[in-house]
């Protein structure tokens, strides 16, 4: 049964004010709740798996800041380490031992990269990885996939154009057509499209970039065979393969998707979890590839706040906890059980909704299809159902990212009780959506 909407009076007031300061009242577009019901919630605090908004509503949080918070909010060890480090100064623009410590933690537990460079966001990491690939191969074109997101740099705000194999079209005003002309866009899970692209642009493609676990436009899981095909075709053509693991890195396992699928990319980008909730991105590769970066190499890349000590401290405190034995096994098993229960409920009722999952990521797809591996397979009409569900879930104290194209995350702070409460809220919400 539908229940009363939560009060959003304070959030609405803050939002009106914010609209006078920021375009659309926000500093990142999806936060504006354009795809779901009502005014965006202004969050006041978080603790563990729970968040509270400005009106005092409490929620179990499955957005987790869009992925970084794999240990939940205000993790005690992260707070302790960050507090200790920040007392000694916030930034020096000079090397610190903390950068070595985070790098050591990563490189000694990840066989897929040998050297790393820290940036301040995922976008920056990807942008730099693309430049590195171009500098390394001395080629200009890159190939990306429809349905993968790689941040907001010009070369990657490009979507599929018309025709079988074409240059992309810009997906944002302000991106020069000349940039889009260097970016080839093809469908996921389609080896023919890859063959055609490599035939048409022989010896011109510097890099192929993919989210090996595409999780920014639904969860479009690819087969290992497909990813291996991609690996092989890149090798045959002297093209670098970039795994954009800004979401999947440290999420599906410490070694990310490269570890899960056992595939060695040429460059890997990280973000989100790596910074423990503070702004950190990174890209890594073999020493040979990485040494093309300045100051040793000719590919320029820099950052005033890159390797910031406070951000490094948060990353160190977070990643250390992820390395504890059983961390991923437990989190992934918890997620699998949660998803199975919801799928069973929905299937039992005959509701056309499926949950797709890997690691501690899940996605609600309002569809009858048993699998979805390309952006084209997503039914836009399903988003209307998601919007209804989102409202019902908020009213029942469950916060999901405000778009049906976004995935949900489970953190180690989610308790069995949280997940039971959430399942009940989801069952009741689905009953309303499909009544
Ligand atoms: C979030 C994300 C980015 C962009 O990272 P920001 O820190 O938001 O700039 C890039 N690639 C992928 C796969 C992401 O999920």
Question: pLDDT, tens digit, for every residue of 33-55?
Answer: 999 999 999 999 999 999 999 99
Q: What's the pLDDT band for 380 if we cut at 50, 70, 90?
A: very high
228 plus 273 within the same structural domain: yes
Q: What's the pLDDT band for 175 if we cut at 50, 70, 90?
A: very high
| Structural domain count, the chain | 2
Q: What's the pLDDT band for 2 if we cut at 50, 70, 90?
A: confident
134 plus 204 within the same structural domain: yes
CA of residue 239 to ligand 1 center, whole Å: 23
Active-site positions read 149, 244, 272
Closest CA relative to residue 309, chosen from 83, 139, 11, 137: 83
Residue 67 domain-assigned (yes or no): no
Which of 129, 151, 157, 257 to mutate to test ligand 1, by most ligand atoms within 8 A of the CB atom? 151
Pocket around ligand 1: residues whose beta carbon is below 6 Å from it?
121-123, 126, 149-151, 211, 216, 244, 246-247, 271, 281
Which of 126, 215, 242, 408 to mutate to test ligand 1, by most ligand atoms within 8 A of the CB atom? 126
311 plus 373 within the same structural domain: no
Is residue 13 scored above 80 in pLDDT? yes
CA of residue 67 to ligand 1 center, whole Å: 10
Q: What's the pLDDT band for 160 if we cut at 50, 70, 90?
A: confident
Last residue of a domain, one of 322, 343, 371: 322
Residue 248 domain-assigned (yes or no): yes
CA of residue 150 to ligand 1 center, whole Å: 6
395 plus 371 within the same structural domain: yes
Is residue 165 scored above 60 in pLDDT? no
Which of 70, 119, 150 to mutate to test ligand 1, by most ligand atoms within 8 A of the CB atom? 150
Q: Decide: 332 and 213 in contact? Cβ < 8 Å.
A: no
Q: What is the pLDDT of residues 265-304, one digit of tens each?
A: 999 999 999 999 999 999 999 999 999 999 999 999 999 9
CA 387 – CA 36 distance, rounded (Å) = 5
CA 36 – CA 16 distance, rounded (Å) = 18
Give residue 1's pLDDT: 66
358 plus 234 within the same structural domain: no
82 plus 178 within the same structural domain: yes
Write down the residue that tokens 């999420």 correspond to: 251
166 plus 273 within the same structural domain: yes
Q: What is the pLDDT of residues 237-246, one digit of tens each?
A: 999 999 999 9
CA of residue 123 to ligand 1 center, whole Å: 6
* Full domain range(s) for residue 95: 76-322
- Of ligand 1's listed atoms, the one at least distance from the Cα of 272 is 7
CA 178 – CA 189 distance, rounded (Å) = 27
Residue 70 domain-assigned (yes or no): no
Last residue of a domain, one of 322, 339, 359: 322
Provide the mean pLDDT of the chain: 96
What's the farthest any 2 CA atoms get from each other in the chain?
64
243 plus 276 within the same structural domain: yes
- Of ligand 1's listed atoms, the one at least distance from the Cα of 148 is 13
Residue 276 domain-assigned (yes or no): yes
Last residue of a domain, one of 271, 298, 322: 322
Could you tell me the CATH number of the domain that includes residue 251? 3.40.640.10
Give residue 163's pLDDT: 57
Tell me the pairing of strands 361-365 and 408-409: antiparallel
229 plus 378 within the same structural domain: no
Which strands form 398-399's sheet, in the order they lie side by side?
A: 43-47, 50-53, 58-61, 398-399
Give residue 166's pLDDT: 61
CA 331 – CA 337 distance, rounded (Å) = 10
188 plus 81 within the same structural domain: yes
Residue 249 domain-assigned (yes or no): yes
Could you tell me the CATH number of the domain that includes residue 352? 3.90.1150.10
Is residue 58 scored above 70 in pLDDT? yes
Element (H, E) at 61: strand 58-61
Give residue 23's pLDDT: 97
Q: What is the pLDDT of residues 348-361, one digit of tens each?
A: 999 999 999 999 99
135 plus 217 within the same structural domain: yes
Is residue 309 scored above 90 in pLDDT? yes
Give residue 318's pLDDT: 98
Q: What secondary structure letter does DSSP report for 167? A: B
């Amino acid at each position: 049964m539908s229940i009363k909407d939560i009060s959003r009076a304070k959030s609405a007031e803050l939002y009106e004010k914010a609209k006078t300061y920021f375009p659309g009242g926000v500093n990142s577009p999806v936060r504006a709740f354009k795809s779901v019901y009502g005014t965006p919630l202004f969050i006041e605090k978080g603790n563990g798996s729970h968040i509270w908004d400005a009106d005092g509503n409490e929620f179990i949080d499955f957005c987790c800041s869009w992925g970084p918070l794999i240990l939940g909010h205000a993790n005690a060890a992260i707070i302790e380490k960050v507090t200790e480090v920040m007392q000694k100064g916030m930034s020096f623009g000079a090397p610190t031992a903390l950068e070595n410590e985070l790098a050591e933690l990563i490189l000694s537990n990840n066989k897929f990269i040998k050297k790393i460079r820290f940036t301040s966001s995922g976008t920056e990491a990807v942008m730099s990885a693309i430049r590195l690939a171009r500098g390394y191969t001395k080629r200009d074109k890159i190939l990306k996939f429809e349905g993968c997101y790689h941040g907001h740099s010009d070369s990657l705000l490009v979507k599929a154009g018309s025709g079988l194999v074409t240059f992309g079209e810009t997906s944002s005003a302000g991106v020069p057509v000349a940039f889009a002309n260097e970016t080839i866009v093809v469908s996921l899970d389609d080896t023919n499209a890859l063959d055609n692209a490599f035939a048409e642009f022989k010896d011109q493609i510097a890099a192929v970039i993919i989210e090996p676990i595409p999780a920014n436009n639904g969860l479009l899981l690819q087969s290992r065979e497909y990813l291996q095909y991609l690996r092989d075709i890149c090798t045959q053509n002297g093209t670098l393969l970039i795994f954009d693991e800004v979401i999947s890195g440290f999420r599906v396992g410490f070694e990310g998707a490269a570890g899960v699928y056992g595939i060695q990319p040429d460059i890997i980008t990280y973000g989100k979890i790596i910074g423990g909730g503070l702004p950190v991105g990174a890209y890594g590769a073999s020493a040979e590839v990485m040494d093309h970066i300045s100051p040793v190499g000719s590919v320029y890349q820099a950052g005033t706040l890159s390797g910031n000590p406070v951000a490094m401290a948060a990353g160190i405190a977070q990643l250390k906890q992820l390395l504890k034995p059983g961390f991923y096994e437990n989190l992934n098993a918890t997620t699998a059980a949660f998803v199975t229960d919801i799928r069973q409920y929905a299937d039992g009722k005959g509701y056309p909704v499926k949950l797709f999952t890997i690691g501690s990521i899940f996605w609600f797809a309002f569809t009858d299809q048993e699998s979805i591996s390309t952006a084209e397979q997503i039914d836009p009409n399903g988003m209307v159902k998601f919007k209804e569900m989102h409202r019902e879930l908020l009213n029942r104290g469950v916060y999901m990212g405000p778009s049906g194209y976004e995935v949900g995350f489970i953190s180690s702070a989610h308790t069995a009780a949280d997940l039971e409460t959430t399942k009940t809220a989801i069952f009741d919400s689905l009953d309303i959506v499909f009544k």
